[in-house]
Amino acid sequence: MSNSPDLDSLVQQMAKLPGLGPRSARRAVLQLVKKKESALLPMISALQRVADTMATCEACGNIDTQNPCHICTDPRRDARTLCVVEDVADLWALERGGHWRGRYHVLGGKLSALDGVRPEDLSIEPLVRRVVQAKTASPPLEEVVLAVGATLEGQTTAHYVADQLADLGVILSTLAHGVPVGGELDYLDEGTLTLALRARRPIE
Ligand SMILES: [Zn+2]
């Protein structure tokens, strides 16, 4: 503890962040306050800008500072391919890989009997509507890649989504092996993820 309630409260907020325990949070706060001009003030203005402009993209579910997001509005993105991911973190991981040129659709989680996540809790219905619409767009949507984790729940989700899209006349594919069983996409290195995406295979 620092003897300052304000500093302690900042440390507590920081310690809630993933990957930061109380010890790392104290070090981060100390670094920020020691370097007020070069670290703390730029951090405050960056946080404020994001807080003012942050939005969830109505089209794909990405989190961005504009709605529709930068990816959905980028004319260079290939409208013929759509990559379905569980979470925004997975979208960001694929973008870091830098090889996916299509657009995305974020489900917002995965089906889980254990956690009580049902199909209607995820963005599946909007995905079906989007695919139906995109089929008649120019150029038309041709392929949907189900890029979900190789966990039991991820695979259950992929099969459910594939069933919903089965009769819509698009190619359905999934990530190649190389995604470790039990693996969450966000934890894969970008190279593995890119390879798995390139070597994607049709869903049986
Ligand atoms: Zn978007």
CA of 67 to the centre of ligand 1 (A): 7
Give residue 120 CA to ligand 1 midpoint distance, Å: 20
Q: Which two tokens stand for residue 190?
A: 């970008």
Contact 84, 146 (CB under 8 A): yes
Please name the residue ranges forming H helices in the chain. 5-15, 22-34, 41-53, 88-97, 125-135, 152-165, 190-198
> How far does the centroid of ligand 1 lie from the alpha carbon of residue 69, in Å?
4
Q: Which of 19-33, 148-162, 187-201 has the highest mean pLDDT?
A: 19-33
Give dist(CA 199, CA 57) in Å, integer: 28
Q: What is the pLDDT of residues 166-195, one digit of tens each?
A: 999 999 998 876 556 566 777 667 767 776
Whether residue 173 contacts residue 203, with contact meaning beta carbons closer than 8 Å, is answered with yes
pLDDT of residue 193: 75
Determine the distance separating the centroid of ligand 1 and the alpha carbon of 196, expressed in angstroms: 23
Average pLDDT, the chain: 90
CA distance 64 to 102: 17
Tokens found for residue 57: 């993209």
At 176 the pLDDT is 74
Q: How far is the CA of 49 from the centre of ligand 1 (A)?
A: 19
Question: C-alpha angle 99/103/104, rounded to 5°?
Answer: 105
**Distance, CA 10 to ligand 1 centroid (Å)?**
33
CA of 176 to the centre of ligand 1 (A): 25
Q: Nearest 5°: CA angle at 61, between 196 and 64?
A: 100
Q: Strand 102-106's sheet: what is its strand order?
A: 102-106, 78-85, 143-146, 171-174, 201-202
Q: HSE of 87 in the Cβ direction (CA atoms, 13 Å)? A: 12
Q: How far, in Å, is the centroid of ligand 1 from the Cα of 190? A: 21
29 CA from centroid of ligand 1 (Å): 34
Per-residue pLDDT at 200 = 81
Residue 182: what pLDDT?
65
CA–centroid distance, 131 to ligand 1, in Å, is: 14
Encode pLDDT of 70-116 as tens digits.
Answer: 999 999 999 999 999 999 999 999 998 888 999 999 999 999 988 99
Cα 16 to middle of ligand 1, angstroms: 28
